[in-house]
Structure 1
């Protein structure tokens, strides 16, 4: 699919002139820091990621910060996360559990020490559970040391419990559905401030001594096949059927990280942007040892 077809599709969906798409994106979907306008390549990258996840940049379900390498950092708002979770074919409900113990920070409302998100998938017998701790994600208000000093409060101070719940939902969704290459606003701010790489998934905690050579070999084949066909969902389903325990966790995280890297490449275009349509058919059934 050529780049102009993506632009035409968005224009038709939004009932606007295709020639005005980039102008509207500049005004609504890019957060500028230095006054420079985003390039056409950066705006095309945003449309590519929005297309992949079915998000609408014109209603701020997804927007972007330009990064330091002339690419973008795709940021998904809470409404956008809710959309991709609820529209996933295997989504079968969500629950939240919170700690009885509350913490209090200056200028903020009291909040549970942690909130757990539980997501159910139709194709799995066990739910995915993730706990997010307030002390690890809470953001202090911005404090200026100029003009006598002042504070700028954020939603972390006015809606502390809601923000922690959002954090738990987003992290759980990443593990449940393999959503990668997209970030929440806090993560994007941290990336810009610290110059860190755009990576959320880390397999460093896995004890590699417990991963067999067979599993490593099959995982590499699975990743290569998923990259070539864009059949990430069927790759994850194959993982769930063929592996268990720590080895399944290793394969899951390897697939998630590989898909994240694949999406990040889309977000750093070389001027020849294209879209590979996702193939969700079960194209991994034939992967065997020795192939």
Structure 2
């Protein structure tokens, strides 16, 4: 029999006072919300280990931040829900944001055949570190059949079948958070369940087999906080003028000189790359289509007449100067 008196523990009293509850009421609620699904008798030592996790990471079981899980060996382990991981990350004073990257290649979810990113990458930034933590999670290493999760055992469509991209994004965030903030002693639900194999459809079939038409690669998604309509409206007339003049060299230096937000600039350059690739594909004999690397920013700026008295160069002058360096005749005119 355990000698631990949970009601008398300073740890229990501290957690109860923080929630403005009596110790007895706190323990009763804790057992209801955290221990309800466990079988057999739970020792006070095991309860203390769970209370320690709640105190260490400031997670609230009454808000669904974590729960206790019983392994097949009968061991009791704390499991953080996704809300719990998000809570821990956001309350850390060194947290400085996160970003996600998505693979262009897709795979098919076996049950619904939904197109899912082959991998999703999460980058977490810390204010006190020079380099961010970057973690990439693959769909075929994380995918679970509905039968693996007891909550979905009676259905052929569980969380990974209904929302596969969201589940993979969540998994990438959790693993990045674990590394970025050293979160130990707790589990994620995904860690306790077996994954199911997912075969990636090959791009080219083996000789002798019927070739199956593969879907076109999906273009990388735009950055999360970019005003896509604004950027597209700015870039569209530039692309049209480049096609007319059969010269692409002015685009990149012009964009770098007029778009200050790095995410908007990245998205604009992606639009240019895509348009240039499509144009070259439709007009393979055009040898005058040049990238900005071929024209060179330095070469373009050599043709710009020095401006005296700190006079600002207007957009039309910049366009004319760059067009001259690309040996293109004509006036660009005023563009937005």
Which of the five TM-score ranges fits, normalised by the shorter chain? 0.5 to 0.7
Correspondence 1:165 to 2:169: yes
Which of the pair has more CA radius of gyration?
Answer: 2
Match of 1:208 in 2: none
CA distance in 2: counterparts of 1:16 and 1:143, whole angstroms: 38
| Residue 92 to residue 54, structure 1, CA distance change in 2 (3 Å) | same
1:36 matches 2:40? yes
CA-to-aligned-CA distance 1:206-265 (integer Å, 9 cap, x gap): xxxxxxxxxxxxxxxxxxxxxxxxxxxxxxxxxxxxxxxxxxxxxxxxxxxxxxxxxxxx
2:21 to 16, 22, 33: 16
Deviation of 1:124 (Å) = 1.6
- The SS at the match of 1:103 is strand
Residue by residue, what CA displacement relative to the aligned partner does 1:134-154 show, whole Å, maximum 9, x if unpaired? 00001012189xxxx963432
- 2:51 matches 1:47: yes
The CA distance in 2 between the partners of 1:16 and 1:39, in whole Å, is 23
Structure 1 residue 131 corresponds to structure 2 residue 131: no
Contact 1:143 1:152 in 2 (8 A): no
Q: Tell me the secondary structure at the aligned position of residue 26 of structure 1.
A: helix
* Residues 1:91 and 2:95 aligned together: yes
Contact 2:96 2:127 in 1 (8 A): yes
| Corresponding residue for residue 78 of structure 2 | 74
- Considering Cα pairs closer than 8 Å and 6+ residues apart, tell me whether 1 or 2 has the greater RCO: 1
Distance 1:68 1:45 in 2: 19
- CA pair 139-31 structure 1, distance change in 2 beyond 3 A: farther
| Residues 160, 69 of structure 1: alpha-carbon distance in 2 compared, 3 angstrom cutoff | closer
TM-score of the pair, normalised by structure 2: 0.50
Please name the residue that 1:5 is paired with.
10
- Give the unaligned 5+ runs of structure 1: 192-291
TM-score (norm 1): 0.58
Q: Aligned-pair RMSD on alpha carbons? A: 2.6
Q: Distance in 1 between matches of 2:115 and 2:35?
A: 33
